[in-house]
Amino acid sequence: MPPQQPEVSAATDPAAPLDITRLLTTITDNLVGMIYRCRIDAIWTMEYVSDGCHKLTGYRPDELIFNNRVSYDQMTLPEDRARVGRAIHAALEANEAFDVEYRIRRADGCIRWVLERGVGLRNAHGQLAWIEGFIQDISERMAANEALHEAVRRYRSLFEHATEGIFQTTPEGRYLNANPALARIYGHDSPDTLIEHLHDIPRQLYVSPERRAEFVRLMQEHGVVRNFESQVYQLDGSVIWISENARAVKNTDGSVQFFEGTVVDITERKQHEAELEHQASHDSLTGLPNRSLLRDRIDQAIVKARRHDRRVAVVFVDLDHFKLINDSLGHHVGDRLLLEVAARLTSCIRSHDSVARQGGDEFVLVLTEQHDENEILAVIRRLLETISQPWVNDGQEYGLSCSIGISCYPQDGDDPDALLRSADAAMYKAKESGRSTYHFYTPELNQAISERLELENSLRHALERDEFRVYYQPRVEVASGRIVGAEALIRWECPGKGLILPDSFISIAEETGLIIPIGQWILQEACRQNSAWLRAGLPPISVSVNLSPIQFRHAGLVQSVADALQQANLDPACLELELTESFVMHDAERINVAMQSLKALGVDIAVDDFGTGYSSLSYLKRFPVDRLKVDKHFVRDIDSDPDDAAIVRAVISLGHALGLKVVAEGVETRAHLDFLHQHGCDELQGYYFSRPVPAAGMEVLLRGLANDACHGQTLTDPRAADARRCREQIFE
Ligand code: C2E
Ligand code: MG
Ligand code: MG
């Protein structure tokens, strides 16, 4: 069957002649919108409206024409009426067509936006009598416009009120747009002044123009940057940190049109980060680099030295007797001292060297780019000299000194740990060699360090294993030649090591706190022994016990002295306590109080090693001291060194002037004895009379004395001294 041809009506027959009226009617009836003619009267009386009226207004044409049911003016929203009227009349007067948008209320009550376009028509007399025009519903477009406006308004508000800076810039570095926050971040009054002033972003804004170059490079390559941090200048020249997030907006051909993005000021965060980093890598008291940063510094120095064939010296500096100051004067004074030392050390080095605090009273210097040992030595001498300047705190002067150990890259280690270990070992060696000195690392030192550690370990068990012994060294009265006292001196009988002298372990005992139980033990033992001698009928003597400053600071000291006396049932007058001079002068006030309580028990107090510290006469006068013990180093050369002789003479007269007895230690020869005798020293102690001997030996000495006394001989008598020395040999 052939396809059916659509029936061709006369109206659609293309061959039919054009009927303009019919065509216009078709258009008019089918238009979305309403064609009209109205009178130019107060209520716009419609004379004609097209069929579109119904759809537009909800009223049928006949209801509107001649205001049959409603006038067009009524339909227009009252708020819009006056404006519409004015617009139309103005156009009519100007003989122009008009375009006006307003709202109408439809028959169903809902409100629609319409656009009315019209033109005035004149009557036969040439007077404006009608308007002909077209009204269409534009509600949808208006809603879309409104939404668009709303969106723009919202974005504008975001842009204006954002706390982040927002920008658009050309790739060359000019601003196209900036928001108030950006202006604020960069220190400008407004976006306009910012845009006007900043026309060369790479050079005017970025502290380092290369940073901007990097920004542009990333943008070109990836079209975006994230959290891009840079330092920039504010208008007044101050520098802040910013972080940028941005993207490249491209043309259709792919070329960059502009960059847009956001900026936040991260200066505070950066400062905070820097602070945290500083805290993590620096010592909080002195502000010096701490251990971890020190390792970095040594590492860096090694890398550099390797490249330039130089040396690095790692210098371990340990304050002598810091624990003493810290324990006796309190931590606040200790802290002040550490600050002082930090400043002094820093003053001794060049800018590319470092000083770090390793912990406690230990500092480490890293000397870079050293050519040879002499160069290092020059710095070390400067250090020793600078540190040994007296330190004045609260009007009181203190002598300072330090012990220094040095290790060098490359020979003593090629990493921070090895160099620090070596320098530490060398420092211990310096301490052993009498402090206030330096020592370079040698491989043998490793051995010494492990021995020290071993010693420390054994010391911890020495008391419970009953390895301590007390030796006694007699103190002889010059006037009578009799033994009037004995100093209790500790010895350690360490299995496999023999008899160890106190200088080798007292400082370890002090550092480890073991000195408290050890000190208490010797106090009890000395009191018990003295009491036993008395009960055995030997001539009464006073036993002297050395007290460590650490014991002195310990709250239980007075009680433990009282306990020792009571347990031994010993007359307090038979016990003397010795304190070293350097300690007595630290924190004199507090020590005076403690001394007074000891004194109140009835014991005697002696200032030991007198002449080595920094005594203030006024303190000495106020302290309840009974004896001054002249340090043995002054006695050694009294017969040959005029300075030492003068010092000893001065100490004797000073002691006497203060009403104190003066004891000389280290009396080894007849010449010593004669000199001291001649200058009025009261009591003597030294190898000339006896080395320190065990209790049994002391007992023999005391018995011998009793016998000798019967024979009219005294210990200051040369014959008696010789005879006694023979006896003593038996016990040594
Ligand atoms: P110190 O209290 O000044 O004791 C005197 C030191 O000089 C003793 O050394 C003694 O043996 C030594 N000495 C005595 N006469 C002579 C002499 O004629 N020539 C020479 N060159 N030396 C002589 P020691 O027994 O080795 O004690 C050393 C230091 O150890 C003591 O010095 C004292 O400060 C400390 N010490 C000893 N025992 C104790 C103790 O039980 N507790 C505390 N805290 N320290 C103690
Ligand atoms: Mg002593
Ligand atoms: Mg002494």
Give the tens place of pLDDT for each residue, 367-422.
998 777 788 888 898 999 999 888 888 887 788 889 999 999 999 999 999 999 99
- Mean model confidence pLDDT for the chain: 89
Q: Across residues 106-131, what is the average pLDDT?
A: 96
Joined tokens for residue 664 = 């000389």
Q: Across residues 231-244, what is the average pLDDT?
A: 96
Q: Could you say which DSSP state residue 202 is in?
A: I
- Per the CB < 8 A criterion, the answer to whether 32 and 51 are in contact is no
Put residue 680 in one of left, alpha, beta given phi > 0 → left and psi -120 to 50 → alpha.
left
**% residues pLDDT > 70 (the chain):** 92
Q: Across residues 446-462, what is the average pLDDT?
A: 82
Ligand nearest to the CA of 685: 1
Burial level of 18, CB count in 10 A (0-12/13-18/19+)?
A: exposed
pLDDT for residue 423: 94
Decide if pLDDT at 455 tops 90.
Answer: no
- Which SS3 state, helix, strand or coil, does residue 401 take? coil
**pLDDT level of residue 5 (50, 70, 90 thresholds):** very low
**pLDDT level of residue 328 (50, 70, 90 thresholds):** confident
Architecture field, domain 284-443: 2-Layer Sandwich (3.30)
How far apart CA 190 and CA 238 sit, in angstroms, is: 18
Instruction: Lowest mean pLDDT of 139-143, 284-288, 448-452, 570-574, name the range.
Output: 448-452
Q: Which CATH superfamily is domain 457-729 in?
A: EAL domain (3.20.20.450)
**pLDDT level of residue 711 (50, 70, 90 thresholds):** very low
pLDDT for residue 730: 34
Ligand 1 mutation target, pool 665, 668, 670, most atoms within 8 A of CB: 665
| 506 CA distance to ligand 3 middle (Å) | 14
Ligand 1 lining (C-beta closer than 6 Å): 473, 489-490, 501-503, 506, 519, 522, 546-548, 578, 608-609, 632, 665-668, 685-687, 692
- Per the CB < 8 A criterion, the answer to whether 182 and 195 are in contact is no
pLDDT for residue 719: 53
Please name the fold of domain 21-139. Answer: Beta-Lactamase (3.30.450)
Decide if pLDDT at 510 tops 90.
Answer: no
Decide if pLDDT at 617 tops 70.
Answer: no
Put residue 701 in one of left, alpha, beta given phi > 0 → left and psi -120 to 50 → alpha.
alpha
Decide if pLDDT at 330 tops 70.
Answer: yes
Domains 21-139 and 457-729 share a fold: no
Joined tokens for residue 121 = 């028509």
Q: Across residues 423-442, what is the average pLDDT?
A: 85
Is the torsion defined by CA of 583, 584, 588, 590 positive or negative?
A: positive
**pLDDT level of residue 717 (50, 70, 90 thresholds):** low
Decide if pLDDT at 720 tops 60.
Answer: no
| 608 CA distance to ligand 3 middle (Å) | 5
pLDDT for residue 614: 60
Q: Kindly list the distances between the CA atom of residue 166 and the CA atoms of 161, 179, 183, 215, 661, in Å, as whole numbers in the listed order.
A: 10, 6, 9, 16, 87
Q: Across residues 167-186, what is the average pLDDT?
A: 95
Please name the fold of domain 162-271. Answer: Beta-Lactamase (3.30.450)
Decide if pLDDT at 513 tops 90.
Answer: no
Q: Whose CA is nearest to atom 3 of ligand 1?
A: 609
Q: Across residues 648-656, what is the average pLDDT?
A: 92
| 362 CA distance to ligand 3 middle (Å) | 28
pLDDT for residue 450: 75
Decide if pLDDT at 10 tops 80.
Answer: no
How far apart CA 569 and CA 315 sit, in angstroms, is: 53
**% residues pLDDT > 90 (the chain):** 68
Query: Residues near 358 by Cβ (< 8 Å), separated by ≥ 6?
Result: 291, 294, 316, 364, 420
Report the 10 Å Cβ neighbour count for 714: 20
Extents of the domains making up the chain: 21-139, 162-271, 284-443, 457-729
Q: Rounded to the nearest 5°, which phi and psi values hold at 494?
A: -95, 125
**pLDDT level of residue 615 (50, 70, 90 thresholds):** low
